[in-house]
A and B are shown apart, each in its own frame.
Chain A
Amino acid sequence: MLKRRLLTRRWVALMLFLPLTLGLFTLLVVMPMFEAANFSFYKWNGFGPPTDFVGLRNYDDVLTHRHFFTAVKNSFFVIAVSLLVQLPLALWAALALVANNWGISMIRTLFFLPYMLAEIAAGLMWRFVYDGDYGLVPAVGETLGIDTPFVLGDKFWVMPAIMLVIVWKYFGFHMMIYIAALQSIPREVIEAARLDGVSRWKITRHIRIPMIRSAILISVFFAIIGALQLFDLIIPLSGGGPSNSSNTIVSFLYQFGITRTKFGFGGAVSMILFAVCVIITLAYRHFLLARKWD
């Protein structure tokens, strides 16, 4: 009797706690991806059900699209600079700012602040910094006697300029991840090494950095996923221009798939991006788990 009442209670609780979440999640996260997988095989402008089956044509069109190639190249550029410049800079700052005192936490807060601003606000702000007529870059160039190009209108300079904004906005985020990990290293470990006369650099190189490997791994992961979904910063800065030279995968998807209502084509872009994200996430988990075995 009591057991039955408990079972009923469990049933009632589950019926209250689960279905809404499950329904919403299935309807808006899982189902749309299945639908995209389906309509990416059709030539479809979104009206009525997709009927014009074209097989892999959309995928072929995407992968051979000149601007898609540029978008992928730009993503690789962002990932490369993130890994080679942004993360080392963040790690350097984290090592300097790991202590907990008033002054240092002020600096930490300042460095983390850009991460909290909306991409749109940060993008517009830097659009002004780079502006050829009223911006800071030409003003500084003028005082130094250098003729600065209008960086965001220049095919060569536009990506480095965007990259600088990315570093400005996100290095504090990576720094915070490192600081949290550095602070969780047991004090005794470093204390012991110091008593043994190990130099500060060697402590950093052989103890502190190896001990925050999983934090470094996750920040690499975030840097890659962030580069793949980069969009909000691109629109206010360059809008993907000049002549599509600064598109990212998502801004390519937006311009060529969504605004032109080529939904089959856009579906193919979505599926490719989806596949890449899933592979990277699974690879990351694999590395994280593999680490636990050694």
Chain B
Amino acid sequence: MAAIGKRRFYRPSGLSIGQCVGLCIIALFVIIPLYATALGGFKTLGELRSSPFDLPQSWNPQNFIGIITESTFFRSLWNSLYVSVATVALTVVLSSMTAFALAHIRFFGQRMLTSFLMVGLLFPAATAVLPLFITLRDLGLLDSHLGIILAQTAFSLSFSILLFHNFFKDLPKELIDAARMDNCGYIQIYWHITLPLSLPIIATVSVFAFVTSWNNFLLPLVMLNTPEKYTWPLGIMQYRGEYGTDWTKILAYLTLTIIPAVAFFLAAQKYIISGLTGGAVKG
């Protein structure tokens, strides 16, 4: 018995009782707000107050139907989707091409250019939001999705180029040399050899750019004025402004926006974590 007990103690994967209790407390802490939100949309205001942790007395979908049938909800989701997909496409194309040039083509000023492009890692976009606002205004891109797409892409470039560059450097050099021997141009090498081998890193960069853009609040807040152009974080804040303290409606709205986010997260988890750790640890 003692021996077994001792062996269990040394097993790295076996959790001690203290760990189990601690993890359970943390799990409750994580779940409770999500749980209360998910149920709150079905409840009445009175129920929210009197029985916050119970299941709703009746599963009344009225709040959800109200939101879905309003055009503003899907419009804001559509705007977000459009902006995010465009940001992802532009980020992947630009940063993979640039990283390819930096990794595989030798040219004068290469190292300087690399350092220059890494300047973006020195400060977050929030720092630059005011001058960015002025620049986009001068370009006539205020209150347009294009302005947000370009700004988001510009600020995701440094990190994406870094991820691509690290990946490209590790690709077998023989492949590229062999292609050069066969009189293959750089553009063909990029398109026919490098890109097909880079699907995992393309996925990682895409997922990162997508999530950042989808969740972005500050930039659209500063840039957009027309409610028809609002992305969903602005849409939900506007809805909250309209319904003030009718929390059942707001919780229903929240649930509807969180469901796609959670689904996406579960599907793309692998890439999120590899980007996080690959970028962070090598950084």
Contacts and interface: CB of A to CB of B under 8 A. Distances in A.
A253 B135 contact: no
Interface residues of A, number: 97
A117 B265 CA distance: 9
Nearest to B139: A27
Contacts of B193: none
B128 interface: yes
A109 B266 contact: yes
B138 to A, nearest CB: 9
Interface in A104-120: 104, 107, 109-114, 116-120
Contact of A274 (B97, B127, B185, B280): B127
Contacts of A215: 280-281
A281 B123 contact: yes
Interface in A85-113: 89, 92-93, 96-99, 101, 104, 107, 109-113
B261 A14 contact: no
Contact of B130 (A140, A180, A194, A263): A263
Contacts of B277: 176-177, 180-181
A46 B134 contact: yes
Contact of A101 (B13, B123, B154, B237): B13
Interface string B160-191: 01000000000000000000000001110010
A129 B101 contact: no
A194 B12 CA distance: 10
Q: Among the interface residues A113, A133, A172, A263, which one has the most CB atoms of the partner chain B within 10 A?
A: A113
B209 interface: no
B275 to A, nearest CB: 11
A13 B101 contact: yes
A24 B134 contact: no
A117 B127 contact: no
A114 B30 contact: yes
A117 to B, nearest CB: 6
Given A121-B254, A121-B261, A236-B240, A177 B276 contact: yes
A172 B273 CA distance: 11
**B interface, over-half SS:** helix
A184 B282 CA distance: 13
B131 interface: yes
A129 B36 contact: yes
B186 A277 contact: no
Contacts of A136: 32-33, 36, 52-53
Interface in A132-153: 133-136, 139-140
B27 A28 contact: no
> How big is the B interface, by class?
35 or more
B128 A29 contact: yes
A16 interface: yes
A37 B98 CA distance: 28
A243 interface: no
A173 B211 CA distance: 14
B122 A32 contact: no
Contacts of B127: 33, 229, 270, 273-274, 277
A193 to B, nearest CB: 11
Given A14-B105, A17-B97, A235-B237, A99 B31 contact: no
A200 interface: yes
B197 interface: no
The 6 closest A-B pairs by CB, nearest first: A99-B13, A32-B131, A13-B186, A180-B277, A28-B154, A118-B215
Interface of B: 9-10, 12-13, 15, 19, 22-23, 26-27, 29-34, 36-37, 40, 45, 48-49, 52-53, 94-95, 97-98, 100-101, 105, 107, 113, 116-117, 119-124, 126-137, 150-151, 153-155, 157-158, 161, 185-187, 190, 211, 214-215, 217-218, 221-222, 233, 236-237, 240, 245, 247, 250-251, 254, 257-258, 261-262, 265-266, 269, 272-273, 276-277, 280-281, 283
